[in-house]
Structure 1
């Protein structure tokens, strides 16, 4: 989206409204959008993982490029979790991009922005004001940049205790009591009061499928990103006799009535972007809040005795992942989109698609070796007649974004992404 597309227009004689940019349109960001519009602000949002339909329903304009949004906003407010992807997202370069005279607010997590760069922008007059209640180090240290004498009159700092009010504590106690009564009556309740399933009641084989489902969700997020569209829906089909068995009474599945494997898939799907705060209790709730439709089904399996067959649908495409656990108790990803392969879902994975011709794998291996990245395992999928192949390399070290970019360009890969899969549940 070009910068010229971000500038709103006003009728002759009409004063232009202040422009609010919300980074992260989750539950809190959505509420900020509603209040911003109520105050007559022109509300824009940057969140590549929220569908345009949700933004339209909120009356919010979509920003596809963060720098463009920062350059035109009068007020910037951050509402994203702290993850590997978002850590330091507002660095010195991006803070310099912010429109001169704008206000910057961070009530999300410390570590999302460069606090020293904020100070420099305040001192130079590029930022008009900064407000925050979270800090890179908590409690805030005495020599924090925002406490320096030359900028403190344009800074608002508060402790991160918004929930510690009489009203908030009373509301939480009331909600907990109401939900407990509903759960005891076997009626649907709005908030989670317990795990959606009892993990200790699952057999060893089912626990392996539970771990597999979570990693399929993580893979699903990375494959969905390749379509450059927000996730709209996902389906999980549990194929085979294992999933026909009753795990436990259904009372713990209220209000979603999802099987444990679907919940684990949603956890993996969401935790890549939203961090460790995504647990089994809130994963279905978070999916619903983000407008992700969830379908679950069962069926028969052909090649393998039991498989989890998951599909993620975005605004611009879809991705399919199929996984199984062998009779020896080994987890495997056996299909990605139209490619059959034998991938061990563990540790760090370099996943890429390429033209099926000699020398590609050799070039990738040479470049990884030059960067001191060791290949632990290798899986290849080919689709006859397509001239394309899909490869998955299990590696021992993390890949830098620069190395990924070099691989894409120098080896002429169609796409490449790095995935970090989980060992535990």
Structure 2
């Protein structure tokens, strides 16, 4: 759906599982509230400032975009706008069509040896940098989440502040999302500290460059030229001053308007929504862990492990949790840990809350319940090449802990519960028994299960020391009734019995 308005006929949305939108469709709180079955909002494009993300997250609705489909299209448009502005091509075209020959009065500037300042080094910003380097431009970049090593590989001089970029650049181009932090990023103050004759390009989102400040800079001569594809209000007003300025190049939000880009984003959003609805993978979600196929191959097994560990911990903790500490050690630290932590939070909350919990709202649900999430990591490995440890701090002052790892590439294993080492695959129904390490304790448990026709598939044992506290995992076939668990808890030398369903 597309249109410069909120969605009409919202009552129809109640039957939809997914919604596909373009840039001008407003997905408001009311629209999301009407989507009783809505699970995914897919943006065929990049910007999602037309979607109420907070409300979508609260409702557990995935909002995804398609950042790759129009990357090259937007980067090429940026370079095209830059060249058109620098060589004054649109103005020259107008004079020719008016029957004039203005050869002597139209003079441009070269790209070679000029400094290009790129605000935002995401996919599009990096592609612009690659193309600008081919023109022999010097490139200065600002992005607080981009490493200096990565910048050096792209021949980008990374600066620590937007002010430093503005002062150094002959041409400034912005490639950031539109957020409260980036609104008016290039404003009156920054235009004032820029080089005389600076040129400014915006093919990202309207409002990142303050239009009034830009207009003032163009009128004063401080800004030699501007190339704009996006605007604070779209469509651009017919009487807007930009339309009358010969040193301003304007296009009507065309950066992604190529045949290839439109096909790419349509195909991408359809595939992403289908995958999300099947429950296989969530890609390019802006309010949930976003995982591409290559990353999923690496972190998917860890996510499976951490989610099942979270479910284990929920049963072990029993009482209210005030804080969840997630500690990583070893090779797992080489990956993006955010989706792994989110999976652990989801697993922890799933058995404990009545509302739906998914990868979109898991952290939000935890925060609303006063559960702090703390993540630590160390590359040092001890007993296992990779280890994940979840520790729950309880409101009564106690704590519960569980550790897990992967055997091979994708086989989850629980290896430690509350300091007792014992190995079990977190699959199916598991009866976890904590007992005093005395003869006959486990024999009585096995006999009781047999009497109730509960078949034991596998057992794993661990203990602190002989005669002390012991831990037994009993993997069983089928369901186990509460009456059976009650009878097990009443047996001699049994400390606790928990049924964990993974």
> TM-score, structure 2 length as denominator?
0.44
> Does 2:384 correspond to 1:304?
yes
Q: Distance in 1 between matches of 2:181 and 2:416?
A: 36
Instruction: Return the match for 2:434 from 330, 353, 360.
Output: 353
What whole-Å deviation, never above 9, does each CA across 1:235-271 have from its counterpart, x for those lacking one? 10111123224x4xxxxxxxxxx61110000000001
Unaligned runs of 5+ in 2: 1-27, 35-47, 54-62, 66-175, 183-284
After the TM superposition, which parts of structure 1 deviate over 3 Å for at least 4 consecutive aligned residues?
170-176, 178-181, 186-189
> Does 2:344 correspond to 1:265?
yes
What whole-Å deviation, never above 9, does each CA across 1:142-195 have from its counterpart, x for those lacking one? xxxxxxxxxxxxxxxxxxxxxxxxx962686999635489x9336689xx8542
Query: Helix, strand or coil for the counterpart of 1:416?
Result: strand
The match for 2:178 is: 185
Q: Distance in 2 between matches of 1:244 and 1:328?
A: 15
Q: Distance in 2 between matches of 1:168 and 1:329?
A: 40
Query: Helix, strand or coil for the counterpart of 1:277?
Result: coil
Within 5 Å, which residues of 2 pair with 1:319-358?
Answer: 319-327=400-408, 329-358=410-439
What whole-Å deviation, never above 9, does each CA across 1:109-151 have from its counterpart, x for those lacking one? xxxxxxxxxxxxxxxxxxxxxxxxxxxxxxxxxxxxxxxxxxx
| CA spacing shift, 1:212–1:283, aligned 2, 3 Å | same
Q: CA deviation at 1:381?
A: 1.0
Instruction: Return the match for 1:395 from 467, 476, 481.
Output: 476
Q: Distance in 2 between matches of 1:217 and 1:198?
A: 20
Q: Distance in 2 between matches of 1:171 and 1:210?
A: 28
Instruction: Return the match for 1:372 from 443, 446, 453.
Output: 453
Instruction: Return the match for 2:363 from 276, 280, 284.
Output: 284
The structure that has the greater radius of gyration is: 2
> TM-score, structure 1 length as denominator?
0.52
The match for 1:35 is: none
Q: Distance in 1 between matches of 2:32 and 2:498?
A: 44
| CA spacing shift, 1:356–1:321, aligned 2, 3 Å | same
Structure with more relative contact order (C-alpha pairs < 8 Å, separation 6 or more): 1
Alignment size in residue pairs:
240
| CA spacing shift, 1:177–1:411, aligned 2, 3 Å | same
> Does 2:30 correspond to 1:169?
yes
Q: Distance in 2 between matches of 1:368 and 1:385?
A: 25
Q: Distance in 2 between matches of 1:188 and 1:375?
A: 58
The match for 1:209 is: 302
Instruction: Return the match for 2:315 from 200, 214, 222.
Output: 222
What whole-Å deviation, never above 9, does each CA across 1:370-415 have from its counterpart, x for those lacking one? 1111111111111016611011111112211111111111344111
> Does 2:327 correspond to 1:237?
yes
Q: Distance in 2 between matches of 1:334 and 1:188?
A: 44
| CA spacing shift, 1:268–1:375, aligned 2, 3 Å | same
Q: Distance in 1 between matches of 2:484 and 2:433?
A: 13
Query: Helix, strand or coil for the counterpart of 1:210?
Result: helix
Is the CA contact (8 Å cut-off) linking 1:222 and 1:419 kept in structure 2?
A: yes
